[in-house]
Amino acid sequence: MNIDLKEYITEKRAKIDQFIIEYFQPFIIPQVLHDSVLYSLTAGGKRIRPLLCIASYEACNGKEDIIPYAVAIEFIHTYSLIHDDLPAMDNDDLRRGKPTNHKVFGEGIAILAGDGLLTEAFRILSNPLYAKIKADTLLRVIYEISMAAGLRGMVAGQAYDLISEGREPNREIVEFIHLHKTAAMIRASVKTGALLAEASEDKINRLESYGEAIGLAFQIVDDILDIESTTEVMGKPQGSDIQKGKMTYPRVYGIEKSRQKAKELIDKALERLSIFDEKAEPLRQIAFYIFKRTS
């Protein structure tokens, strides 16, 4: 199948955006909370995680409209960015070229917006009315996502990221951070698609390790872009990881070896897709896109 990734992404993104807008009608009260949540949800995110979830679902022959469940993952991603930008965490003023949530709405509301988005994700995932999905499948999805996002997943990665600032580069710690902070939720996004499609355990496992590989590659490329890109393209200050003494891949391995590692991970991810037919084409192209992205 010759798919146009750009067209594929544009079409899915429109549906994702539409669901987000509709989900917040009627308005949340108080209004400042509503505005804060919508501000970050519509701040120009690439929607990589929900796109991966949908592409994985389609690669496994899924036929239902699973946009709501995919959007739940974007809610969790968005919450993690809002909290990550807080002064007590990364203390970032800019995200995707715009002031961060707490800069606009204050820290208290930003914390609550994040808390609320995380919680709403599970409200969406536990609503069986969105598509014909079995209850025990949805339970398994909730389990996977909460494990990937929780105290032994993304939160652990963020905590290590926080306490490692300014420390000597260390291979074990940078691996731990990348695996937990970024790869865990990307892996869970891909796995969710496979679970929702009731794929075979073999396919679920393959997609899971595809997801982990591109998740790690994504973070390594992110680390490289922090050094090589510009503030304009990135939408956040160039070199901010270095300035904060972040435990990044290039700091531990150097730029060339980091790029090579990312390439290996993409190759590994593509290998895992080998048994899939042309319906996995978007997943293959997303892997390339992650390696080649510039922002």
Closest separation in Å from C-beta 290 to a second copy = 25
Residues 113/160, Cβ–Cβ less than 8 Å = no
On the question of a cis peptide bond just before residue 99, with omega within 30 degrees of 0, the verdict is: no
Residue closer to a second copy by CB (options 54, 149) is 149
Residues 155/182, Cβ–Cβ less than 8 Å = no
DSSP 8-state secondary structure symbol assigned to residue 28: P
Closest separation in Å from C-beta 243 to a second copy = 17
What are the C-alpha distances in Å from 285 to residues 52, 67, 171, 188?
11, 20, 30, 19
CB-based burial label for 216 (10 Å; 0-12, 13-18, 19+) = buried
Closest separation in Å from C-beta 5 to a second copy = 32
The position carrying tokens 């679902």 is 57
Range list of β-strands (E), the chain? 94-95, 98-99
Give CA–CA dist 91/159, Å, rounded.
Answer: 14
What track of x and - describes contact with a second copy for positions 15 through 34 (by CB under 8 A)? -------------xxx-xx-
Closest separation in Å from C-beta 144 to a second copy = 9
Residue closer to a second copy by CB (options 140, 279) is 140
Q: Residue 281 is inside which H or E element, if any?
A: helix 281-292
Closest separation in Å from C-beta 51 to a second copy = 22
Give CA–CA dist 259/256, Å, rounded.
Answer: 5
Type of residue numbered 35: D
Residue closer to a second copy by CB (options 28, 186) is 28
Q: 5, 104, 131, 155: which one contacts a second copy (CB under 8 A)?
A: 155
Q: Which stretch binds a second copy (CB under 8 A): 126-134, 197-205, 233-241, 268-276?
A: 126-134
Give CA–CA dist 201/125, Å, rounded.
Answer: 21
Counting contacts by CB under 8 A, is residue 42 touching a second copy?
Answer: no
Q: 48, 73, 81, 149: which one contacts a second copy (CB under 8 A)?
A: 149
Residue closer to a second copy by CB (options 160, 288) is 160
Residues 55-114 touching a second copy, rule: CB under 8 A, are: 79, 83, 86-89, 106-112, 114
Residue closer to a second copy by CB (options 154, 217) is 154
Which residues of the chain form contacts with a second copy (CB under 8 A)?
28-30, 32-33, 37, 79, 83, 86-89, 106-112, 114-120, 122-123, 125-128, 134-136, 138-140, 142-143, 146-147, 149-153, 155-156, 158-160, 162-163, 176
